[in-house]
A and B are shown apart, each in its own frame.
Chain A
Amino acid sequence: MFIQQLSVFVENRPGRLVDVLEVLAAEGLDLNGLSVADTTDFGILRLILSDPARGEKVLKEKGFIVKCTEVLAVDVHDSPGGLLFAIKAMSSVGISVEYMYAFGTKLSNHAMVILKTDDNVKAANTLKESNVDVLSAIEVQQRLKKV
């Protein structure tokens, strides 16, 4: 029901993002999606990887501070109001979204939204009840696979 997301602490100075991406590339890890939240001094890089466990291990070995978190990957129809429907379903039962980011998939007319809420279990159930697809890790990989 949930997928693994890595959060990496990066200082805001030139080359630090390069350092993270190089570690992943050297390990042959596929970067499915990412988002960055930052201040002037530091940022948190959030990554969806093909193999999060290995990603966590290699980044930690390179001295990065890494946290693995469970998040929801939600399938959203790529049309006006597509996301609105999912978010509305959650807000109606009092779930708040801590952060979210989206990326496209190979499946035409479908986008993928990564959600971290204050209650992921409740969020997943609510979404399912509203007929919104909550994707498993395997499904995520399938949708990103080249056709």
Chain B
Amino acid sequence: MFFNESIERMGHDEMREIQIKKLRKEAAWAYANVPFYKERFDEVGMNPAQISSLEEWAQFPFTVKTDLRDHYPFGLFAVPKEKLARIHASSGTTGKPTVVGYTKQDLENWSECMARLIVAAGGSSQDIVQISFGYGLFTGAFGLHYGMEKVGAAVVPMSSGNTEKQIMLMKDFGSTILISTPSYALHMAEVMEEMGVTKDEISLRLGMFGAEGSTEEMRRELEERWGILATENYGLSEVMGPGVSGECYCKKGMHINEDHFLIEIVDPATLEPVPDGQWGEVVITTLSKEALPMLRYRTKDISRIITEECECGRKTRRMEKIRGRSDDMLIIRGVNVFPSQIESVLLNINQVSPYYQLIVTRKGYMDLMEVQVELADAAMLDQFQKLQALEAEIRHKLRTILGLDAKVRLVEPKSIERTTGKAKHVIDLRNGGN
């Protein structure tokens, strides 16, 4: 099933032509209406109407989150207020939030993008959709909400929280799709079990999760506990919200809405574009945003492009599940290391908790890495050798995944700090960092 078959099954070359054409239009629109962008084009001496290739486009300076903050609230908007149809904002952890705006056409495109991803995941007009993202300034709930309406599904705008009621209504309404963050969906599953409700008593069959990263292990747990197909989708409010890309039912990478978003992958260290298939930071240029064009926006998210055609029949290129944030990336002995890689190793070892701390030090010219993990299984205390074997196993698995040797240190339960939100997993004690 396709929502927009001609676009979703368009060949890559034809899509590239459309992208370049739309890029010229978007760049010219930004040049004409946003002084910030006009200055940047003039600085690098680029004529937006004459951009002819992606190589040329790669010369344009990046836009970053602070650019949005510096022009708070509406300084980067390309339309007058009467053309605005919606304003969202992302929660700023410090200071002012980042504010984003939409025209009526932007909202229409947003719904279209979302609708394609919903149908790709397996949603249809038959579905009853419980949206358990928080409604409000956050783009997640509204993005999915309008996309679902466009598909013709019945929307239950639950918002997040009040979990017992969520479970009750899910059961009574026969909700078939759940929209939430993966961590909230896991929490809901726990509450459901505490309430004595089994997955057989509910009608849920599909989860579309997003707004935060997750691991394959979390996906497996979600699928098992809910008895659903768990898909993931991607987006960020700076470029629109959810709807940039999303997994189809094959769950093998997120199909990009390439006619609305131009995605480049760059090396986080050199900021040079990398070849398809190589990991790097996702950089997005919007191709159809009227209210707030975003040119080469650095997302800080780490992913890579999958070019092979998907089994579902879509020809759009896909993005791999986000592996981490470029801010979190460490370079240890010249190897790029993401804390999420360590987490994925630990999640597969039942005798330890998934909490860990990575400590990087330098001895002479050599970087040393120590991973501290909490022991969780008392059965390991029978024999000293069992603990040593466990350490060796973790060390071996880390070496396989990271390509680096790490010292593993078992620590007592709960001795690693629990942080809500973005866990602080890394302590880098090398002088001046790397």
Contact = CB atoms under 8 A, between A and B. Distances in A.
A9 B382 contact: no
B409 interface: yes
Given A41-B409, A65-B378, A98 B414 contact: no
Contacts of B365: none
A66 B388 CA distance: 17
A63 B413 CA distance: 7
Given A9-B375, A39-B388, A44-B387, A64 B412 contact: yes
B384 to A, nearest CB: 5
B347 interface: no
Nearest to B410: A42
B379 interface: yes
A11 interface: yes
B381 interface: yes
A10 B412 CA distance: 7
A77 B30 CA distance: 93
Interface string A7-26: 11111000010000000000
A44 B381 contact: yes
A9 B414 contact: no
B59 interface: no
Given A41-B410, A42-B387, A44-B387, A65 B381 contact: yes
Nearest to A41: B409
A99 B383 CA distance: 8
Chain B interface helix/strand/loop/mixed: mixed
Contact of A67 (B376, B382, B384): B382
A54 B379 CA distance: 19
Interface in B387-406: 387-388
B411 interface: yes
Nearest to B377: A65
A17 to B, nearest CB: 12
A69 interface: yes
A138 interface: no
A80 B411 CA distance: 41
Interface string B343-381: 000000000000000000000000000000001111111
B388 A7 contact: no
Interface residues of B, number: 19
B47 interface: no
Nearest to A68: B378
Contact of A65 (B382, B383, B388, B412): B412
Contacts of A44: 381, 384, 387
A37 B415 contact: no
Contacts of B413: 63-65
A44 B385 CA distance: 11
A99 B381 CA distance: 12
Contacts of B378: 7, 9, 65-67
Interface string A79-119: 00000000000000000001100000000000000000000
Interface of A: 7-11, 16, 37, 39, 41-42, 44, 63-67, 69, 98-99
Q: Which 5 A-B residue pairings sit nearest by Cβ, starting from the closest?
A: A7-B381, A67-B378, A67-B381, A63-B414, A37-B384
25 contacts: A7-B378, A7-B382, A9-B375, A9-B381, A9-B387, A9-B412, A10-B412, A11-B415, A39-B388, A41-B409, A41-B410, A42-B387, A42-B411, A44-B381, A64-B412, A64-B413, A65-B376, A65-B377, A65-B381, A65-B412, A65-B413, A67-B378, A67-B381, A69-B381, A98-B383
Interface of B: 375-384, 387-388, 409-415
